[in-house]
Amino acid sequence: MGIGLTHYLILSGILFAIGLFAVITRRNAIMVLMGLELILNSANINFIAFSRFGGINLDGQVAAIFVIVLAVTEAAIALAIILNIYQNYKHIRIDEINKLKE
């Protein structure tokens, strides 16, 4: 039995779960950002796996490239936001930033 679609999907699921876990539990904003990257990459794996095994040509690969590009820009914007948060709060502990409540 060779490596099939299922394996990829399981890997992607694990990666998504790890990313989600990081997003939800990490106190540091940078770490949350890193969790987000993992989630995006899990999606990339899905795209590519479906591209390879789902019979949908290269569209999946194109989508993956788009996601990578978007991840870059997202990282840039997110880091800028985190920088601003740091300038306002002098820290980036995300669980202490609960202004949304008000």
Partner 1 sequence: MTQENLLMIPEISVVILLLPLLGFLFNIFFGKRIGRLSSTIATGIMGICLALASYIAFTKFVYYPDNGMIQLKFDWFTLGPGNAVSVGIGVDNMTAMMLVVVTLISFLVHLFSTEYMRDDKRYSRFFAYLGIFTFSMLGIVIANNFLFMYIFWELVGLSSYLLIGFWYEKDSAANASKKAFITNRVGDLGFFAGIMILFFTYRTFFFDDIFAKILGDSLHGIAPILPFNSGFWLTVAGILIFCGAIGKSAQFPLHIWLPDAMEGPTPVSALIHAATMVAAGVYLTARVFPMFTAHALLFVAYTGAITAFLAATIAITQNDFKKVLAYSTVSQLGYMVMGIGVGAFTNGFFHLVTHAWFKACLFLASGSVIHAMHHAMHHLNDHHTDPQDIRNMGGLRKTMPLTYLTFLFATIAISGVPFTSGFLSKDGILAGTLAFAQLTGNWLIPIAGFGAAGMTAFYMFRLTIEAFHGVPKTKIATQTKENKFVIVFPLVLLAVMSFWFFYSANPIDASKGWFASRMKAPATSVPTAYQFRFLVPEERLKQEEEAQEKLEKANVDENTEKLKKRIHEELEIAYATGQENRDSVEKYKQEFLKNKEEAKARARHPLMAKKSMKDGSGEKEEFLTVFEEKIEEAHLPAMFISVLIAGLGILLSFTVYQFKAMNSDNLANQFGLLYRLSYNKWYIDEIYDASVIWFTLNFSKVLGLFDLKVIDGIVNLTAWVARLAGQATGIFDNVVVDGLVNLIANVTGTLGSIMRKFQTGRVQTYIGLTIVVVILLVYFLA
**Binding residues for partner 1, per CB under 8 A?**
20, 23-25, 32, 94-95, 97-102
Which segments of 3-89 are extended strands (E)?
A: none
Q: Which amino acid is residue 78, in one-letter code?
A: A
By C-alpha distance, which of 7, 75, 8 is closest to 40?
75
Q: Rounded to the nearest whole angstrom, what is the least distance from the CB of residue 100 to partner 1 in the complex?
A: 4
Whether the CB-CB separation of 62 and 13 falls below 8 Å is answered with no
On the CB side of 33, CA atoms within 13 Å amount to 19
**Which CB sits closer to partner 1, 1 or 100?**
100
Q: Rounded to the nearest whole angstrom, what is the least distance from the CB of residue 98 to partner 1 in the complex?
A: 3
**Which CB sits closer to partner 1, 10 or 81?**
81
**Which CB sits closer to partner 1, 39 or 49?**
39
